[in-house]
Structure 1
């Protein structure tokens, strides 16, 4: 090598930084004329200091006729395993079947039944989710029917984030 030649450092050519592992998230579009609402991740519901159970049922046409009876029997079996001696036609079974029938009528593919025990009060909460947004508002006759069957309290609501219709009842056991 001639003495007047330039000497390049050993790092030539210059190293380029590695590409990012995840692509950068593009900016979210802003809606004009609409209020932007911050969406928080959905918190998972945690039931503490009480017994609980949940089941999911298919509500397709082939299973819709047996789903309410299966859900009512599952709730009764769980309550009996908790020490409640309940007859087969206890109001909690009838109310569960009625709420599941209403969820099946929404037309979704599945329905979830959630049961929670309030040990001190001798009451249980039965919650049924239809997992389907129904375009029809809930008829108040359902709530009157459920309270007429023996529920202490009953209610219904449409979930804003997931669209699932929730129906619930508090029943004395």
Structure 2
């Protein structure tokens, strides 16, 4: 796994967590690869406000305080891993087998710090649909994604169409 993919996948994991999505294949794979159990709901609930603030800081290009607070509370533990020899060497930000909430906090905080600083080619965005508070990873070629899902994009397009036709003279 290249460093870029690792950071991008951790940013995806952070977005998935703050959006409250059901556990994805990515999340399950991360936990299996790193010998992490699913965090219990109470520990995850403790972590989510700080993680949400950090994701919002990345999506909004600052302020940096939420990321620094998360990094201060959960400092990354850097080491090089190859996942048992099946991948190229890359940095990890937390030790395998660590407590789930701590592993998530360390890993996601470090990845979000990299993304906020422009490294690597990962963009976190905030959905532009009215009434939607979700975030998304923009991996489009020209970094122009505006919505978290096709549902929000369609709803916004239909609302704009209706508004244009409602105000048009008949």
Give yes or no for TM over 0.5: no
Structure with greater contact order relative to length (CA < 8 Å, sep ≥ 6): 2
Answer 1 or 2: which has greater strand percent: 1
- Who wins on radius of gyration, i.e. which is larger? 1
Using structure 2 for the length normalisation, give the TM-score.
0.28
